[in-house]
Chain A
Amino acid sequence: ASAATFGLGRPATADEIAAWDIDVRPDGVGLPEGSGDVTTGEEIFTDRCAVCHGDFGEAVGRWPVLAGGQGTLSDDRPNKTIGSFWPYLSTVYDYVHRAMPFGDAQSLTADETYAITAYLLYLNDIVDDEEFVLSRDNFLEVEMPNAEGFMPDDRMETEFPVFVKADVCMENCKDAVEITGRAAILDVTPEETRARQLKEA
């Protein structure tokens, strides 16, 4: 509310804002009226989601895994799912509603989205009651297991003091060098590139 303006654009109408402003925040701002239960969610999920995400959120092929993996975040191969990793339930509602099903985004009603969200909580053992009904009223009561698992970017405090250097070694910096890993052994680069290499060898 400072500076000179150009008088460009025109006021957005309430209907226009309502049509596009569908985002939901962790404090529940943006959640619409509505509700859905686990059982209904399972039906919708089976019908519209399971083809990619599997009947139990375990995923088909390389599609995202939605459930399981709790307690694996410090493992060698962590399994990052809604239940094991996502900090906020609002993100589940918002993302499913705005971008899923893949290829038919924004086709789910508020009630359907609440129901799917409830089923995803069930699949992740965050609720254990098939009668559980998720709605705007009880949405903030759900506790996500990894809600406290995130911290701000601390690179300036942890890494910069080490990586900002006045001097770097330029001569005789080490006695010996060994190759410790090779991409060619893995051989997962697209064939065309490798073919060129071999041809020109």
Chain B
Amino acid sequence: MTTRRDILRGGLAATAGLAAGTAARAEGDPLITELQDWNHVLGDGVDANPYGMPSRHEAHVKRRSVEWLTADPVSSVNFTPLHELDGIITPNGLCFERHHGGVADIEPAKHRLMINGLVDTPLVFTMQDLMRFPRENRVYFLECAANSGMEWRGAQLNGCQFTHGMIHNVMYTGVPLRLILEEAGVKTNGKWIMPEGADAAAMTRSIPIEKAMDDCLVAFKMNGEALRPEQGYPLRLVVPGWEGNMWIKWLRRIEVGDQPWHHREETSKYTDLLENGTARRFTWEMDAKSVITNPSPQAPILHSKGPTVLTGVAWSGRGTIPRVDVTIDGGKNWHEARMSGPSFDKSMHRFYYDFDWDGTPLLLQSRAHDSTGYVQPTKEELRQFRGVNSIYHNNGIQTWYVNEKGIAENVEIS
């Protein structure tokens, strides 16, 4: 049976593709002239949703995966729907996931953090112990080293969710790692730390002690609430500005040593093969990068020519983003975008470029500048240094082609 609500919804979908409902306006919009359900039928009470979810009309705003990328969904990745988001904070339920042994299910009362190795006193902490250290709140991006990695050889996936969605940006609450290490007392020959996860992958990485003592956090909250299980509940390492693999989830142990461990995730993986057959290792920092999130292949222009909002995000593992340039003609001419919202160190930044679309095809690009003076390179410039087989650290400029209908496509241009 077709209900009045169905017809209404159908009508809405049809108008969305037209010129912003001008026809409806001229004839008197039934959405205004007729009483709508929600105008007189009572809605849910306050006890209907103790933990609220987005409107059912936002069901398309979700993490997506690409089946062919990995052998198995347990050691795999999914993608943040960047094209549906605005501002700089990623909602917890939409933060991309990357696991190597699935999502560990850990009862916080049974979780332990051990500090051992080159320390005066090896220690064990409960979650309760950790909650008694002084805390800090910081907003940082976490970008997978492989974000955009499928795009090294050319335009491949059609949507910024897939080309750039291995990233999220949240506020972490946690304890400076320095305080926890000092509690155990790092010996003078303690030059490296090795965090380890409690999950079935028992992920390990080597991190120099200078970084550990500088700005790393042992975090238990994201965006105000406990970490999501898929983000390391109840405890994860935060390694600001550095590749996401190092942000060990379900953190159970930190060993202090006098040299790096060269474990699987820093030899076989997370090393960057160059054209001459040698590989860079310990490429920790994520360089300045940006992407236009609207318009983009998953977010076409649905209105006719006229005022158009172009927006996107930019970030750098080496500082802040004071400036982003935008082109709509494939780099012939550039315009300084308008930055909006807070500018935090090693965090996402939101930019806008408001322009009058004349209805002709566009070639869109964004170019981030970070606080060190580094300017985001083109993919071709990066290939000059690295070839096409380095997998990780692709921060090249992204191009979207937008046709006269407003449909956008992932392309490469000369």
Query: Interface size class for chain A?
Result: 35 or more
User: Which A residues are in CB contact (< 8 Å) with B271?
Assistant: 150
Cβ of A26 and Cβ of B255 under 8 Å apart?
no
Instruction: Report the Cα distance A103→B74, complex, angstroms.
Output: 10
Q: Chain B residues near A169: list those with CB within 8 A.
A: 334
Task: Find out whether the CB atom of B124 lies under 8 angstroms from the CB atom of A23.
Answer: no
Which of A23, A180, A200 is in CB contact (< 8 Å) with B263?
A23
Q: Which of A52, A95, A103 has the most CB of B within 10 A?
A: A95
Among B45-53, B115-123, B224-232, B345-353, the one that faces the other chain is B115-123
Interchain nearest-CB distance for A19 vs B (Å): 9
A-B contact pairs, 15 of them (CB 8 A): A6-B179, A9-B125, A9-B184, A105-B200, A106-B202, A151-B278, A159-B377, A174-B330, A174-B331, A177-B363, A177-B413, A181-B412, A182-B155, A197-B158, A201-B407
Interface string of A169-181 (1 = CB under 8 A from B): 1111111111111
CB of A20 within 8 A of CB of B253, answer: yes
Interface residues of A in 5-26 (CB under 8 A from B): 5-6, 8-12, 16-17, 20-21, 23-26
Partner of A178, one of B115, B261, B414: B414
- B159 lies within 8 A of A179 (CB): no
Q: Which of B186-244 contact A (CB under 8 A)?
A: 186-188, 194, 196, 200-202, 204
Q: Are B325 and A168 in contact (CB under 8 A)?
A: yes
Interface centre among B101, B279, B287 (most CB of A within 10 A): B279
Does any Cβ of A come within 8 Å of B284's Cβ? yes
Nearest CB on A from B351, distance (A): 15
Per the bound structure, the CA–CA distance linking A177 and B329 in Å amounts to 8
Q: Which of A10, A61, A158 contacts B385 (CB 8 A)?
A: A158
By the criterion CB–CB under 8 Å, are B412 and A91 in contact? no
Q: Contact at A8–B114, with CB atoms within 8 Å?
A: no
Chain A residues contacting B282 (CB-CB under 8 Å) are: 152-153
Say yes or no: A88 contacts B182, CB within 8 Å. Answer: no
| A interface footprint on B32-74 (CB within 8 Å = 1, 0 otherwise) | 0000000000000000000000000000100011111011101
The 8 closest A-B pairs by CB, nearest first: A177-B330, A74-B277, A73-B277, A183-B410, A62-B71, A181-B412, A12-B122, A9-B123
How far apart sit A153 and B242, CA to CA, in the bound complex (Å)? 13
Q: Within the assembled complex, what's the spacing in Å between the Cα atoms of A6 and B115?
A: 15
